[in-house]
């Protein structure tokens, strides 16, 4: 049997619109993944804080509260970035 020689395939030329959509989807997926990670970490810290409260370990409760506040600030930054992005693409009604 003869061996096949693989020729080089030329990639189809991509339009800039497709690249923009792919970048948009990647950005949204990254932001959503980050959001879910922060939510999971918040839930974990909150459970630990409630356990410490039940055991009356108030120094750990305070540390958990500060950690939760930091996570809430990070989540609010993500929300503000998403709002800014949506406002950038807001449709303005035309005058009749």
pLDDT of residue 24: 73
In-domain check, residue 94:
no
24 versus 90: the higher-pLDDT residue is 24
In-domain check, residue 16:
no
pLDDT higher than 90, residue 10: no
In-domain check, residue 74:
yes
Q: How many domains does the chain have?
A: 1
Q: What is the average pLDDT score of the chain?
A: 81
Structure tokens at 42: 């918040």
In-domain check, residue 96:
no
Largest CA distance in the chain: 78
Rounded to an integer, the average pLDDT of 51-78 is 95
Alpha-carbon dihedral of residues 12, 17, 22, 25, nearest 10 degrees?
A: -160
Supply the range of the domain harboring residue 60: 28-88
């Amino acid at each position: 049997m003869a061996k096949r020689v693989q020729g080089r395939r030329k990639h189809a030329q991509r339009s800039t619109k497709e690249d923009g959509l792919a970048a948009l989807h990647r950005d949204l997926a990254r932001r959503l993944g980050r959001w879910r990670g922060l939510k999971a970490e918040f839930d974990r810290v909150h459970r630990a804080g409630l356990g410490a409260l039940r055991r009356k370990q108030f120094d750990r409760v305070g540390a958990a509260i500060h950690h939760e506040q930091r996570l809430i600030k990070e989540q609010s930054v993500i929300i503000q970035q998403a709002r800014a992005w949506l406002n950038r693409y807001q449709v303005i009604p035309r005058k009749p």
